[in-house]
Chains A and B, each alone.
Chain A
Amino acid sequence: MAEPFNIVVVGAGPAGLAAAEAALSNGARVAWLDAQATAGGQVWRKDLAHGWPRDAQNVIERVTQHANATWMPQTQVISAESGQLLLQDPSRAWRITYDALILATGARELLLPFPGWTLPGVTGAGGLQALAKQGWPLAGRRVVIAGSGPLLLAAAATAKRHGARVLGIYEQANKATVQRFARKLWHWPGKALQAASLRAQLAGIPYRYGSIVARAIGDGALQSIEVDGPHGVERIACDQLAVGYGLVPNVELAHWLGCAMQNEGAHPYLTVDATQRTSVANVYAAGEVCGIGGRDCAWLEGRIAGLAATGASIDGSVLRKQRHARAFAAALREHFALDPYIYDLPDLDTLICRCEDVPLHALDHHDNARSAKLATRCGMGACQGRVCGTALAELGRFPRSGLRPPLFPARLATLGELDSPCSQGSFS
């Protein structure tokens, strides 16, 4: 028997937290769930050594302790059908129902292939931050941060706070473009302050523009990297490389629910109206899944979605702030657009599908994800194409294919709960 809730919020980052809080304030019975053990999402991930950011801690405590809230940590949505969600946590599988569903599934990092990217010691930029906050040992380790966007500064600051020797930050965008962006920051004073604070924390750490990690080298683990920059190729010995090229919305659940989407570059995001309603009745969405907009935007949209889903009115000032926050995201995208040189980094032998060890040359004769999958197993592994499918779309090879349940790898006992694995859609 499925447990009924008024509102179910998927994702416990800023968007999910704001949505849960708004819905609770209107008297709704709310379930909120997240794959991680602790609330906060990626941007507000709890740091074992330093706790949550102050803003986050207050709201997390308020929502977690609310009498009408049911917090479901380490929980993933495995399938969704006719108003029900099939959930799995480390010990059980169960169903819940909702009057309204709020998708706050956030984003993942855009991780792009280059020779050596599978070596132990190479991680995402946000990835290293996440690992460090949960105790990954960095004290005394030589760390290089690379890729694109302001997330690199945050990753470097976290690594430094955890005792790493940060050797440098390598931004692919060129100097003139990044400086043009910096000059616009006064439109968003909060962001300008945040940037200034990060730069102060990172005093003394080289920040290089127009620089791209072209290769990671090591025998069984990372030993050095080659950085291609304005002054040629530089080889740097290091223990850890954290490289991220931005963020990509997590749309898998929304896709399965049939929500309408648009593309930003090669990657889909959800279409929502001014009150965060998707194209599917009683399904709302907020934050990064509606297009990469950042923390402030996610918070505002979560609040709007939580109010709208419980039938409350929305103050015009919240809507105005949300539009202003979205404008910041647009400026970010414009100034940190990726240099197409990055798409040419993989060699023919570079593995594209890390789960099934499929090299680039094996994909040469395929122009769609299905054909590549059938012939090479590309995208058939445990990540279900989340890494390689996203990378191949960004590289301009072919678009991602949609996921079908199980939306994450599931235990057989969980799959036994599915009515019929073929009852919706077709295998493709």
Chain B
Amino acid sequence: MSTVRIRIDGEALDVPAGISVAAAIARLPRPFRRSVKGQARAPFCGMGICFECRVRIDGVAQQRACMAVVREGMQVATDG
């Protein structure tokens, strides 16, 4: 399977092409985001409803990681 190189919070990661950004972040031991009161959160509904997995992708905030697909050179920022 071909791979693409993305960066998650600056860390380079080679992942299988076509996987979701959520699946890429799950390869690292970090939460996706902090809730308004600071709790660690990660994907919950898996289908774009709950917004628990949102991250910044290539500078655009509030993107649902479960619905985005990795691309070569993609920069992902979690606030975990």
Which residues of A are in contact with B by a Cβ distance under 8 Å?
A: 35-37, 42, 48, 74, 90, 108-109, 111, 118-124, 126-131, 134-137, 220-221, 354-357, 381-383, 386-387, 409
Contact = CB atoms under 8 A, between A and B. Distances in A.
Contacts of B47: 36, 42, 108-109, 124, 126-127, 130
Contact of B45 (A109, A119, A221, A356): A109
Given A130-B66, A135-B16, A136-B23, A354 B35 contact: yes
B67 A35 contact: yes
B44 A355 contact: no
A124 B41 contact: no
Q: Sort chain B's interface into a size bin.
A: 35 or more
B61 to A, nearest CB: 10
A121 B26 CA distance: 10
A127 B43 contact: yes
Interface residues of A: mostly helix, strand, loop or mixed? loop
A216 B66 CA distance: 23
Contacts of B67: 35-37, 74
A134 B50 contact: no
B40 A120 contact: yes
| CB-CB nearest 9 A-B residue pairs | A135-B19, A127-B46, A120-B42, A135-B23, A382-B51, A130-B46, A134-B20, A357-B37, A131-B46
B22 A136 contact: yes
Interface residues of B: mostly helix, strand, loop or mixed? loop
Contacts of B15: 135
Contacts of A137: 23, 26-27
A230 B19 CA distance: 40
Contacts of A37: 67-69
A134 B66 contact: yes
Given A134-B66, A409-B62, A35 B48 contact: yes
A357 B23 contact: no
B17 to A, nearest CB: 9
Given A357-B35, A382-B62, A131 B43 contact: yes
B41 A118 contact: yes
B20 A136 contact: yes
B42 to A, nearest CB: 3
B20 A135 contact: yes
A60 to B, nearest CB: 16
A386 B35 contact: no
B24 to A, nearest CB: 8
A126 B44 CA distance: 10
Interface in B6-64: 15-16, 18-20, 22-24, 26-27, 31-32, 35-37, 39-52, 54, 60, 62-63
B51 A355 contact: yes
B11 to A, nearest CB: 16
Contacts of A90: 60, 63, 68
Nearest to B48: A35
Given A123-B45, A123-B46, A357 B36 contact: yes
Contacts of A108: 45, 47, 49
B35 A387 contact: no
Nearest to B37: A357
A354 B52 contact: yes
A313 to B, nearest CB: 36
A124 B46 contact: yes
Nearest to B20: A134
A220 B18 contact: no
23 contacts: A37-B67, A48-B16, A90-B60, A90-B68, A111-B50, A118-B35, A118-B39, A123-B44, A123-B45, A124-B44, A124-B45, A127-B44, A130-B66, A131-B23, A134-B23, A137-B26, A221-B31, A221-B40, A354-B44, A354-B50, A383-B51, A386-B49, A409-B62
B46 to A, nearest CB: 3
Nearest to B57: A90
